[in-house]
Chains A and B, each alone.
Chain A
Amino acid sequence: MTSQKTLKDVKMHYCPGCGHRMINKLIAHVIDEMGLREKTIMSSPVGCSVLVYDYLDLDVIECAHGRVPSVLSAIKRCLPDRFVLGYQGDGDLAAIGTNETIHTANRGENITIIFINNAVYGMTGGQMAPTSLPGQVSTTTPKGRGANFEGNPIKMCELLATLDGPTYIERLAMNSAGSLKNIKEALKKAFQCQQDGKGYSFIEILSPCPTGWKNDIKESLNFVDKMQEFLPVGVFKDERKNR
């Protein structure tokens, strides 16, 4: 167990009600509880959470948009006994980096990816994301998603679960104090999966973005509930006992 804390004592830049803030903290707590800090190499993505290294006192590599899985695949192959953790948003993971996501999962790389799905491009000002809901108004879907051949939200957990490579895939929603406990438990499972050498683990978190959704915190929690109509929570794959 490390004595030094992963979470840095600094003010975070995230907007009020943003899910990143709590998820950053949960990651830090789980890393400390599992004693992983000194062996962790984490990625930071392009998007609002690019500055995650300002909050977590870990070795971090900042990746190009969508390329986290490729970068981490190589790091894990070079340093197989380190704990390698990816953190990606929806545009990063399910649009510009879909190819890297699918092939890294298919290779069954022994890494953990945390997918923060808030159904919007937050940092660039609220454009449509690959996971935006049908009818969702964004700065690039003024008539709502679907009115101009935008398709429906991409279901990454379901998509990746069709592959043989992944070991553990779970989707959770962050919409209450109680949900934080579930997310923490899921993170532990995924981290332990990698620590046991059992292969690729993937945790999707439906996460509020009041600023991007142009609503208030209470409404944003309702929106997370609505997201679950299209993106149901649950465990989509669990092969831990078989590997």
Chain B
Amino acid sequence: MKKELMKGSHALVHASIEAGCTFFAGYPITPQNEIPELMSKLMPKSNGTFIQAESEVSSINMIFGAASTGARSMTSSSSPGVSLMQEGISYIAAAELPCVIVNMVRAGPGLGNLRASQADLFQSVKGGGHGDYRLIVLAPSTNQEIYDLTMAAFDYADHHKNPVLILGDGIISQMIEPVELKKYKPILPLPSKDDWALTGCKDRQRHLVKTTRLDPPDLLVKHNLHLKKKYKKISDELTLFKEFETEDAEIIIVAYGITARVAQETVHLARKEGMKVGSIQLITLWPFPNKILKKYRGRDFLVVEMSNGQLIEDVKLALGCKGRILHFGYGGGWYPDTDQILTKLRNMKK
């Protein structure tokens, strides 16, 4: 099939529209401006809506509105903008509306800088907004994965009635790679939205989209239990990861996103030096692929991430803190290279 050279941001836009996304709202912030820019060109051509919102607070609430009508909808931003969206994300999760949110992460905290980073992991998987809720979090590492996972994200969102976060970074967003522009085909059964979408109460009981549950006092307790069950079901059904040369590996590198590609290359180089190294690329960051990590419990692990230590917490939890689990990473917009990781591996072997 035909492949085209394009930026990761553009692959994401093409996949969204191919998957039937008809509403996009966003606000300019580097390094994801290519997403709203291309959306503004393509959305009108497919009879969809593009709105440049006045803030990320507004764009996420536009997604709340669009999703409530049953439309496939998306917003994108980068770290400081996604922080502003946390209020709306909590409401969307509480109302169980399907939608797709994109974070092309840049370095923080604060305004930080424009370099790529993976320091928004806690915000993404532990709930940056208020209340007990979960996002399905997908981390692509190539432009093809961006394309494929973006189409899948809409299906996961609709199937589970839950917001899905695509967690990229400044490199993924800007990098140009060949992408096969596949036709959209649902990968999951998609439930009808007719029993909850707001369309006006013609020939049916009215629908309510709301998040307050005041009376009786245990009403919200029950709703939270319902959400807990849903999250358990998602955890049981959805974990995505890839393994590279793990079978005989004495050391396994764990990484996600762009860092996972550096890890794979490092595995290749380490094997040439005679080191038995493998890697696991995590694709779903929530649900976290616990089982695959547990399978290799007892081996040595090296967690590589572009932050001062966030992913390592979930890896330690998955492994029950058993065995040697080391960390390699920095915050502030640091990019790991194979030489640095190889040096770390050699030191681990000593």
Residues of A whose CB lies within 8 Å of any CB of B are 37-41, 44, 50, 53, 57-64, 67, 70-75, 77-79, 82-83, 99-100, 102-103, 107
Contacts and interface: CB of A to CB of B under 8 A. Distances in A.
Chain B interface mostly: mixed
B210 A53 contact: yes
Contacts of A44: 210
A107 B53 CA distance: 10
Interface residues of B, number: 37
B58 interface: yes
B87 to A, nearest CB: 6
Contact of A74 (B66, B87, B210): B66
B208 interface: yes
A73 B60 CA distance: 12
B91 interface: yes
B49 A103 contact: no
Contacts of B212: 50, 62
Nearest to A96: B57
Interface string B91-114: 100000000000000000000000
Given A50-B212, A77-B23, A79-B200, 7 more contacts: A37-B201, A41-B200, A57-B206, A60-B198, A71-B62, A75-B66, A102-B54
Contacts of B208: 53, 59-62
B202 interface: yes
Given A53-B210, A62-B209, A74 B201 contact: no
Contact of B199 (A71, A82, A102, A107): A82
A59 B198 contact: yes
A44 B95 CA distance: 14
Interface of B: 22-23, 25, 49, 51, 53-55, 57-59, 61-66, 68-69, 71, 73, 87-88, 91, 198-203, 206-212
Q: Which residue, of A40, A50, A59, has the highest number of chain B Cβ atoms within 10 A?
A: A59
A67 B89 CA distance: 13
A40 B207 CA distance: 11
B200 A73 contact: no
A75 B23 CA distance: 10
B195 to A, nearest CB: 13
A58 B53 CA distance: 28
Contacts of A63: 61, 64
A102 B87 CA distance: 20
16 contacts: A50-B212, A60-B208, A62-B208, A70-B65, A72-B65, A73-B65, A74-B23, A74-B49, A74-B63, A75-B66, A77-B23, A78-B65, A78-B71, A79-B69, A79-B199, A103-B54
Nearest to A68: B61
The 10 closest A-B pairs by CB, nearest first: A74-B65, A71-B65, A62-B210, A70-B61, A103-B54, A38-B202, A74-B62, A67-B61, A74-B66, A39-B200
B51 A64 contact: no
Contacts of A62: 208-212
A44 B23 CA distance: 22
A218 to B, nearest CB: 32
B209 A40 contact: no
B209 A78 contact: no
A64 B88 contact: yes
A73 B51 contact: yes
A70 B87 CA distance: 14
B91 A64 contact: yes
Contacts of B210: 44, 53, 60-62
A137 B58 CA distance: 33
A131 to B, nearest CB: 22
Contact of A61 (B68, B200, B201): B68
Contacts of A64: 61, 64, 87-88, 91
B140 to A, nearest CB: 26
A61 B59 CA distance: 17
A77 B49 contact: yes
Contact of B22 (A37, A70, A78): A78
A32 to B, nearest CB: 13
Nearest to A83: B200
Contact of A99 (B25, B58, B202): B58
A78 B50 CA distance: 11
